[in-house]
Amino acid sequence: MENDEINQLKETIISVLKTIYDPEIPIDIWTLHLIYGLEVDAEGNVKIVMTVTAPNCPVAEVLPGEVQQRVQAVMGVKKVEVELTFDPVWDISMLSDEAKAELGLDGDYGSFSATDFLY
């Protein structure tokens, strides 16, 4: 696979990730910045490093599997490895500007943790 093909496959994968939503916050996992890393090699193998909004999040057990399954279905993907990490721990400051706007967080939102925001 050439670099252009790898980049196109990566863009397709990102499009798929944008269809997977965190159940607690009505924003997709890409926009929430829950995806810390996305690598695609020349053979079509994909490695995704991701987190969830809180270590005790109930979807921590199922969301990585959903990501793996949905990305595996992309044409051109050979194998998918999804690694769940809590380093760094996700917090509200990691939200994209788009996500902040969707949630009405314009300006200073203080020093809330994910658990303050979600639960």
User: Has residue 39 been placed in a domain?
Assistant: yes
| Tens digits of residue pLDDT in 8-30 | 999 999 999 999 998 878 889 99
Q: What is the pLDDT of residue 76?
A: 96
- Distance, in Å, from the CA atom of 84 to the CA atom of 91, rounded to the nearest integer, reads 16
Predicted model pTM: 0.83
Cβ neighbours for 8, distance < 8 A, ≥ 6 positions apart: none
Q: Of all helices (H) and strands (E), which one includes residue 6?
A: helix 3-17
Which CATH number belongs to the domain containing residue 33 in this structure? 3.30.300.130
Residue 18 amino acid letter: K
User: Has residue 49 been placed in a domain?
Assistant: yes
User: Has residue 107 been placed in a domain?
Assistant: no
Confidence grade of residue 108 (pLDDT, cut at 50, 70, 90): low
How many helices and strands in the chain, by DSSP H and E?
4, 3
- The residue segments making up the domain with residue 8 are 3-102+112-116
User: Has residue 92 been placed in a domain?
Assistant: yes
User: Has residue 9 been placed in a domain?
Assistant: yes
User: Has residue 41 been placed in a domain?
Assistant: yes
- Total domain count for the chain? 1
Q: What is the pLDDT of residue 119?
A: 40
Judge whether 55 and 24 are in contact, CB under 8 Å.
no
